[in-house]
């Protein structure tokens, strides 16, 4: 059985409605080890025949067998396997990859055979050394002469064995000396058992072959036939055995490594375009990560403050909008507060005794809220002592005229840096001027109070839940005797010990007070429920802001897809070369997908770095809001970058993989 058999092979092309037959019913057989020259004028069909013979193209009609296998019925990946295992190509224009050196170009077919890096490098070095290029292993094509480049292409053709070598006008771009050397090398290869199929329009080149097939108008015009004394050499050379085809897993490992390396070289070779593409992804990732970091910091601060202020208590106050017209709500009596204290889950009851007063210190006065305070008031109001001391038992027992003020009151009544402890405040009803004690006023004498302490909000964040004006805390006994002597109160806070769920405690409080008052003439709310609502609002805001940042990322992804489409267009010939030496469609698709992912991941890393630097800058200029870029955010950003690369690299990768090897090789 002949190595190559064609029976009635036709290849037609459609140009609009016109059917153009490039090959028209060709039948021939080529034995293993032959040296065949295919000649003919331009348009005779010799290049199309070479493409069919090399499994770069499928015939429109007829059958085409290689080693007994019908190649005309094979799909793209099966044809790629045939090219990888049986064929070696030598092109007129060399078709070397410019970003690879001579050794890497020669080793390229072994990549798709799954041969490891060390093994294929050694084989490529051996072949190049045999071809006289031992001192040019690490030179790129632009540093090699035309003859040297063609010898590199011969080494590449032999890399996987090169049982069948297809040479398309191999001397067309060479000077006479280099052309003669090329023909000599082809003759040597044929003598060692390689099947040489030479395509040329030059009769003097064709004369070196032992069989000449002349084409005209897509048909065989003349065929000198297989020489009568043709036979294969007794000892086939080692390269005819080819490289061992690795298993699927090993070949996949080699493919990934090669794809990542190729992606890096391609991106490095177009630095400006790569930088501009990365910029879009970097801005998108930086926007998303920064917005998430800022919103997390803001949410954390707000929720910490709100939780600290609201949690652990249930506010209750007199009045209810549901009361009928004319109904008067009752205040809360001390005995009723004691009944609430006895409920399970209640830690204590904090009575709210407040009054709006005017405070004066020397020439300064300000409106303040006077608060009757007990031992639980600081924790209930989320305040902490900043200076001085708080009320003790003696102060409460003796109704001492001492006060603790907050920062707002201090700022309003004292100059910056002026000490407040030990100073005297004069408290009088709102709207009336506080007079010096001993001097009568329109409404009576002002109440002098000594400042013993200063408090600040204990929220720990950037949100304060104090009053709009300053707060002045008095001992509860002093408040009752000197300002408001009534025993009943209009509001109080139920302090929780969390032994019972807050919602259940609230139900018990409502039930107990309703039984005592006979009607629900009061209202209350569960601070934890309100806090959950605030959390839902902040989460929705965070999602909204993240969506805004995602738009920037989407724009960056579209930019990457556009750049990758341009890259596919510019590297069409490279794609054709890779397919010619055995790359499957999946290999090409993987290469461009990985390139898109690498590009996006690099952009993502830059974006994360920008976000981190931005966070450090924000933290350096202020202390209220601590912005942190967490490791989780880094991992998410990297994953999102990869996903963007996969998503927006799919179309360019599919377009690259769908290219026809013939069309791709013809593109300049």
In angstroms, the CA 641 to CA 297 distance is 23
**Max Cα distance, the chain (Å):** 141
**pLDDT the model gives residue 300:** 67
Nearest residue to 577 (alpha-carbon basis) of 591, 556, 596: 591
Nearest residue to 77 (alpha-carbon basis) of 574, 583, 572: 583
Find the distance separating the first CA and the last CA of the chain, reported in whole Å. Answer: 39
**pLDDT the model gives residue 668:** 55
Tokens found for residue 620: 């350096």
Tokens found for residue 375: 């031992």
**Fold of the domain built from segment(s) 4-246:** Rossmann fold (3.40.50)
Instruction: Enumerate the β-bridge partners of residue 449.
Output: 425
Q: What is the distance of C-alpha 507 from the center of its chain?
A: 49
**pLDDT the model gives residue 310:** 60
Q: Give the pairing of strands 364-373 and 470-475.
A: parallel
Collect the ranges in the chain with pLDDT lower than 70: 1, 234-248, 299-311, 431-445, 459-468, 527-528, 530-531, 549, 624, 633, 667-668
Tokens found for residue 664: 């791709």
- Determine contact, residues 155/121, Cβ cutoff 8 Å: no
**pLDDT the model gives residue 438:** 38
Q: What is the distance of C-alpha 459 from the center of its chain?
A: 36
Nearest residue to 61 (alpha-carbon basis) of 26, 18, 16: 26
Looking at 186-231, which runs of residues are DSSP E strands? 195-200, 211-216, 219-223
pTM beyond 0.85, yes or no: no
Residue 486: how many other CB atoms lie within 10 Å: 9
In angstroms, the CA 91 to CA 253 distance is 29
Tokens found for residue 73: 């019925």
In angstroms, the CA 518 to CA 513 distance is 8
Q: Where are the domains of the chain?
A: 4-246, 263-304+532-666, 330-520
**Phi–psi pair at 460, nearest 5 degrees:** 80, 0
**How large is the C-alpha radius of gyration of the chain?**
45
Tokens found for residue 55: 């499994």
Residue 307, burial from CB neighbour count under 10 angstroms (0-12, 13-18, 19+): middle
The tens digit of pLDDT for each residue in 367-415 reads: 999 999 988 888 777 788 999 999 999 999 999 999 999 999 999 999 9
**pLDDT the model gives residue 645:** 83
CA distances in angstroms from 434 to 284, 439, 446, listed in the order given = 60, 10, 5
With a CB cutoff of 8 Å and minimum separation 6, the contacts of 558 are 648
Nearest residue to 165 (alpha-carbon basis) of 209, 202, 114, 101: 209
With a CB cutoff of 8 Å and minimum separation 6, the contacts of 630 are 293, 296
Looking at 595-667, which runs of residues are DSSP E strands? none
In angstroms, the CA 586 to CA 111 distance is 14
The tens digit of pLDDT for each residue in 261-291 reads: 877 877 787 788 788 778 878 887 777 777 7
In angstroms, the CA 399 to CA 485 distance is 12
Residue 493, burial from CB neighbour count under 10 angstroms (0-12, 13-18, 19+): buried
């Amino acid at each position: 059985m002949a190595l190559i058999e064609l029976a009635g092979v036709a290849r037609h092309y459609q140009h609009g409605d016109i059917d153009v037959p490039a090959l028209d019913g060709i039948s021939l057989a080529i034995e293993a080890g032959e040296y065949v020259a295919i000649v003919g004028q331009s348009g005779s069909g010799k290049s199309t025949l070479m493409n069919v013979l090399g499994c770069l193209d499928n015939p429109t009609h007829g059958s085409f067998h290689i080693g007994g296998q019908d190649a005309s019925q094979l799909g793209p990946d099966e044809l790629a396997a045939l090219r990888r295992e049986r064929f070696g190509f030598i092109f007129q224009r060399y078709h070397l990859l410019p970003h690879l050196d001579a050794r890497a170009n020669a080793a390229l077919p072994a990549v798709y055979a799954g041969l490891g890096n060390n093994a294929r490098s050694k084989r490529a070095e051996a072949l190049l050394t045999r071809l006289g290029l031992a001192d040019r292993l690490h030179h790129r094509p632009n540093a090699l002469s035309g003859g040297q480049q063609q010898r590199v292409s011969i080494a590449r053709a032999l890399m996987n064995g090169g049982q069948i070598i297809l040479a398309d006008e191999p001397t067309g771009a060479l000077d006479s000396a280099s052309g003669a050397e090329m023909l000599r090398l082809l003759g040597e290869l044929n003598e060692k058992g390689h099947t040489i199929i030479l395509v040329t329009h030059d009769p003097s080149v064709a004369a070196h072959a032992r069989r000449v097939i002349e084409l005209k108008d897509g048909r065989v015009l003349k065929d000198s036939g297989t020489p009568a004394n043709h036979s294969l050499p007794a000892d086939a050379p080692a390269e005819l055995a080819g490289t061992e085809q690795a298993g699927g897993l090993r070949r996949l490992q080699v493919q990934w490594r090669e794809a990542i390396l190729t992606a890096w070289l391609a991106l490095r070779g177009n630095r400006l375009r790569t930088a501009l593409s990365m910029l879009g992804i970097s801005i998108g990732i930086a926007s998303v990560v920064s917005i998430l970091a800022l919103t997390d910091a803001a949410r954390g601060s707000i929720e910490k403050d709100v939780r600290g202020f609201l949690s652990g208590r249930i506010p209750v106050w007199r009045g209810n909008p549901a009361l009928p017209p004319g109904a008067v709500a009752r205040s809360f009596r001390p005995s009723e507060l004691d009944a609430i204290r006895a409920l399970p889950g209640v830690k204590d009851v904090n009575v709210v005794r407040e009054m709006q007063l005017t405070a004066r210190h020397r020439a300064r006065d300000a409106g303040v809220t006077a608060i009757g305070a007990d031992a639980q008031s600081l924790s209930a109001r989320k305040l902490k002592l900043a200076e001085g001391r708080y009320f003790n038992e003696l102060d409460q027992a003796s109704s001492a005229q001492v006060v603790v003020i907050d920062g707002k009151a201090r700022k309003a009544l004292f100059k910056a840096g002026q000490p407040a402890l030990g100073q005297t405040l004069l408290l009088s009803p709102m709207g009336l001027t506080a007079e010096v004690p001993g001097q009568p006023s329109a409404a009576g004498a002002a109440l002098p109070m000594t400042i013993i302490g200063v408090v600040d909000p204990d929220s720990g964040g950037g949100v304060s839940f104090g009053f709009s004006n300053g707060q002045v805390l008095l001992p509860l006994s002093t408040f009752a005797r000197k300002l408001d002597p009534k025993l009943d109160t209009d509001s109080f806070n139920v302090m929780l010990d969390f032994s019972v769920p807050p919602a259940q405690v609230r139900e018990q409080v409502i039930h107990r007070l309703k039984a005592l008052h006979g009607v629900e003439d009061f209202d209350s709310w569960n601070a934890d429920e309100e806090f959950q609502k605030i959390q839902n609002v902040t989460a929705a805001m965070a999602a909204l802001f993240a969506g805004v940042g995602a738009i920037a990322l989407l724009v960056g992804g579209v930019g990457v897809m556009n750049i990758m489409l341009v890259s596919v267009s510019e590297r069409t010939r490279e794609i054709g070369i890779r397919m010619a030496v055995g790359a499957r469609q999946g290999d090409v698709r993987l290469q461009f997908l990985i390139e898109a992912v690498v590009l996006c991941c690099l952009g993502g890393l830059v974006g994360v770095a920008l976000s981190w630097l931005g966070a450090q800058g924000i933290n350096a200029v202020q202390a209220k809001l601590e912005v942190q870029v967490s490791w989780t955010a880094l991992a998410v950003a990297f994953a999102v970058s990869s996903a963007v690369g996969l998503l927006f690299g799919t179309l360019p990768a599919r377009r690259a993989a769908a290219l026809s090897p013939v069309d791709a090789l013809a593109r300049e």
